[in-house]
């Protein structure tokens, strides 16, 4: 961390700041310029908040962070790729997986049919929403605990591990038999939820928020890991920009950048990224090519009557064709789907 001091700084307060930093165990390296004066701080600066230093505004002009503020998720500290196992299915370090299923669980028939279809097509994990975050209070909010039961029944019938979204720590008990818990984009910085998930022994699929930086995504993973749960998979699902022709803008570069920053697996959700059915295939191909460890794809047996996100859901026969292309591309780019 580098602290830039003001040219006309209060000397007494400057001395006090230096003393305080030394007392907290930092080594100080100073360098003087004509128009600026820098202090290089050596030590574990992840405990320092830039804003706290900026608050001393008759001394400090600016603060630049040099070291990353994350530790457990940092690839520098743990250089090997992490592999996450979800009920025996490996994700990461060459193991590529497809998570498929409907936006929301609607009926027993629907989830069973879709589960059987995606399994037959080669998906290894089943997704399905029971608790749904919707912008409008007048939209379908999910079947809630009944939806979870239907999803667990589909798991029993097909043997597919299940992934579903949690919206509040109060619901954790209900998720006992869920194989991987998903944190949605709108809850990426629901810190009470992240803290609760740090205390369970279950993989967490953490989606990037609509307008969150990659560093913030990693810091949210760090919340879970700092609590004791190392099993975090990151998911890019499109960010919000000025472009209006698609629901979101898929930040494909997030994959290589997150892999440089962290050792965690990174998957892509092309369905939410574009919000348009016909765009799922090209984005899925791009995701594999760029190095993602998996895909999360919405599939619905009757998208025209889906209670949510039908516009971006593939029909089972479309998904089946796509899976053949995915298998080919995954192999071409050197990963395995087992």
Smallest separation, CB 289 to a copy of itself (Å): 4
DSSP string, 195-233: HHHTTSSS-EEEEPPTT--HHHHHHHHHHHHHTT---EE
Among 159, 317, 332, 336, which residue interacts with a copy of itself (rule: CB under 8 A)? 332
Residues between 163 and 202 that touch a copy of itself (CB under 8 A): 167-170, 186-187, 189-193, 195
Binding of residue 13 to a copy of itself (CB under 8 A) = yes
Binding of residue 286 to a copy of itself (CB under 8 A) = yes
Alpha carbon 180 to chain centroid distance? 13
For residues 19 and 156, which CB has a smaller minimum distance to a copy of itself in the complex? Answer: 19
What gap in Å lies between CA 76 and CA 68, rounded to an integer?
10
Q: Which stretch binds a copy of itself (CB under 8 A): 43-51, 79-87, 119-127, 155-163?
A: 43-51
Yes or no: say if 65 and 102 are a contact pair by the CB < 8 Å rule. no
Contact residues for 23 (Cβ-Cβ < 8 A; gap 6+) = none
Residues between 198 and 227 that touch a copy of itself (CB under 8 A): 210-211, 213-216, 219, 222-223, 226-227
CA atoms within 13 A on the CB side of 113: 13
Among 15, 109, 176, 253, which residue interacts with a copy of itself (rule: CB under 8 A)? 253
CA atoms within 13 A on the CB side of 226: 14
Kind of pairing between the strands at 232-236 and 204-207: parallel
Yes or no: say if 235 and 206 are a contact pair by the CB < 8 Å rule. yes
What gap in Å lies between CA 250 and CA 241, rounded to an integer?
10
Binding of residue 15 to a copy of itself (CB under 8 A) = no
Q: Which stretch binds a copy of itself (CB under 8 A): 79-87, 88-96, 151-159, 302-310?
A: 302-310
Among 21, 56, 183, 330, which residue interacts with a copy of itself (rule: CB under 8 A)? 56
Among 2, 83, 87, 174, which residue interacts with a copy of itself (rule: CB under 8 A)? 2
Q: Which stretch binds a copy of itself (CB under 8 A): 81-89, 110-118, 199-207, 242-250?
A: 242-250
Question: Is residue 3 classed exposed, middle or buried when 0-12, 13-18 and 19+ CB atoms within 10 A define those classes?
Answer: buried
Widest pairwise Cα distance in the chain: 74
Binding of residue 306 to a copy of itself (CB under 8 A) = yes
Binding mask 105-144 for a copy of itself (x = CB under 8 A): --------------------------x-xxxxxxxxx---
For residues 162 and 167, which CB has a smaller minimum distance to a copy of itself in the complex? Answer: 167
Binding of residue 87 to a copy of itself (CB under 8 A) = no
CA nearest to 287, candidates 244, 335, 319: 335
Binding of residue 25 to a copy of itself (CB under 8 A) = no
């Amino acid at each position: 961390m580098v602290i830039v001091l003001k040219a006309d700084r209060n000397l007494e307060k400057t001395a006090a700041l230096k003393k305080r930093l030394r007392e907290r165990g930092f080594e100080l390296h100073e360098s003087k310029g004509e128009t600026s004066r820098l202090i290089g701080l050596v030590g574990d600066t992840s405990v320092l908040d830039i804003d706290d230093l900026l608050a001393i505004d008759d001394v400090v002009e600016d603060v630049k962070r040099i070291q990353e503020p994350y530790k457990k998720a940092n690839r520098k500290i743990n250089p090997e790729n992490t592999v996450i196992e979800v009920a025996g299915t490996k994700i990461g370090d060459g193991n590529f997986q497809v998570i498929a299923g409907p936006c929301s669980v609607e009926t027993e028939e629907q989830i069973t049919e879709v589960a059987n279809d995606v399994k037959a097509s080669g998906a290894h994990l089943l997704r399905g929403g029971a608790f749904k975050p919707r912008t409008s209070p007048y939209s379908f909010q999910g079947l809630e605990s009944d939806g979870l039961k239907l999803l667990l029944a589909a798991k029993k019938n097909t043997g597919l591990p299940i992934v579903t979204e949690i919206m509040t720590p109060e619901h954790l008990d209900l998720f006992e038999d869920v194989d991987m818990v998903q944190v949605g984009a709108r809850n990426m910085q629901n810190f009470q939820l992240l803290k609760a998930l740090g205390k369970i022994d279950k993989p967490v699929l953490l989606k990037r928020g609509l307008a969150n930086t990659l560093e913030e995504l990693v810091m949210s993973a760090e919340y879970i890991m700092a609590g004791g749960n190392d099993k975090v998979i990151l998911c890019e699902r499109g960010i919000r920009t000025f472009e209006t022709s698609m629901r979101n803008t898929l930040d494909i570069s997030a994959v290589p950048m997150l892999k440089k920053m962290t050792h965690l697996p990174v998957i892509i959700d092309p369905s939410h990224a574009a919000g348009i059915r016909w765009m799922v295939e090209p984005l899925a191909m791009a995701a594999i090519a760029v190095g993602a460890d998996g895909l999360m794809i919405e599939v619905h047996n009757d998208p025209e009557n889906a209670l949510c996100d039908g516009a971006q859901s593939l029909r089972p026969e479309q998904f089946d064709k796509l899976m053949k292309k995915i298998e080919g591309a995954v192999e071409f780019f050197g990963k395995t789907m087992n």
